[in-house]
Amino acid sequence: MALQDKYKELINAASAAGVQNLQVREQDNVLYIDGEAATGQIKDNLWAIYNKIDPDFRAGDLIMNINVSAMAAGARAKVTTASSNLNIRKGPGTDQPIVGKAEHNSTVTLVSKMNDQWWLVRTDQGEEGYAYAQYLAVQ
Amino acid sequence: MNRLNFKILVVGLLFSTGVYVTSCKSKTKDESTQASADTTAVTPVPSAPVEIAADDALTTGVKDATKDHPGVNATVNNGEITLTGNIERSKLPDLMQTLNSLKPKKINNQLTIK
């Protein structure tokens, strides 16, 4: 219960923001918070609170997995790489061959979700393949 | 006919009153049971255990996640991810978000922040 007290502000914020299927579990001195936020902004806000309570995520006592429900098949997502173009790969893994590129700041269509890390996407040029979810944001 | 209608009405009224009284009784009973359950909460609601990914899946996921962070080294052991090396503070949240989504048991962040 001590960890739930430590991260109380975070848990309350997740509840207040309407995070769906919110699960807060403690196991072997690690707190696990899972749920689905409606937007990437809500997720980012929760991560900012996490970083405030545990600066630079040093304590190793929380695993927070918040998915964004706006990331859904059929949605349009912006490529949010720092400056480079996003690799589109044949399969879900960086060991897979690159079959195309999605331009930095361009928009792609989400086709289907492989897992929390990889999405099958289609560019406006018609290229289809797997892209890393971290660099995709539904507007 | 009028007398018959009246009888039906009376029977109906009696019946609905009975139902009403019965439902009231059971409601009161429910509330009292709930109240005592609240005050003597000794059995927490069982929740599913946390799902931890296997080391193979974690290793693959960690490799993908750290590809764009050249200064970061990551090892996986028994569900735990240990990070060493260095990273810019502005890039740390992105890396942590991705690593957290891999379903590890724990993340040991020993990175030097530039």
Task: Walk along chain A (139 residues) and give the pLDDT tens digit of each residue.
Answer: 799 999 999 999 999 999 999 999 999 999 999 999 999 999 999 999 999 999 999 999 999 999 999 999 999 999 999 899 999 999 999 999 999 999 999 999 999 999 999 999 999 999 999 999 999 999 7
* pLDDT tens for each residue of chain B, 114 residues long: 566 666 666 555 555 555 555 554 454 445 444 545 555 555 555 678 999 999 999 999 999 999 999 999 999 999 999 999 999 999 999 999 999 999 999 999 999 999
B34 and B60 belong to one structural domain: no
**In A, what residues contact B, Cβ < 8 A?**
23, 25, 27-28, 30, 32, 43, 47, 51, 56-58, 60-61, 63-65, 67, 93-95, 116-117, 132, 134
Q: Give the one of A28, A56, A95 whose C-beta lies nearest to B109's C-beta.
A: A56
Report the distance separating Cα B17 and Cα B6, nearest Å.
16
Find the CATH number of the domain harbouring A50: 3.30.460.10
Which of helix, strand or coil describes residue B107? strand
Question: Structurally, how many domains does chain B consist of?
Answer: 2
B60 and B32 belong to one structural domain: no
Last residue of one domain, picked from the residues A68, A87, A103:
A68
Which of helix, strand or coil describes residue B51? coil
In B, minimum Cα distance to A68 occurs at B101
A90 and A110 belong to one structural domain: yes
Dig out the tokens for A22 from the structure: 């919110």
- Predicted pLDDT of residue A78: 97
In A, minimum Cα distance to B101 occurs at A65
Q: What is the dihedral of CA B10, B15, B19, B25, to 10 degrees?
A: 80
B109 part of a folded domain: yes
A130 and A84 belong to one structural domain: yes
- Asked whether A68 and A36 are in contact (CB, 8 A), the reply is yes
A51 and A15 belong to one structural domain: yes
Could you count the other beta carbons within 10 Å of the beta carbon of residue B36? 10
Residue B9 belongs to domain spanning: 1-38
Residue A127 belongs to domain spanning: 76-138
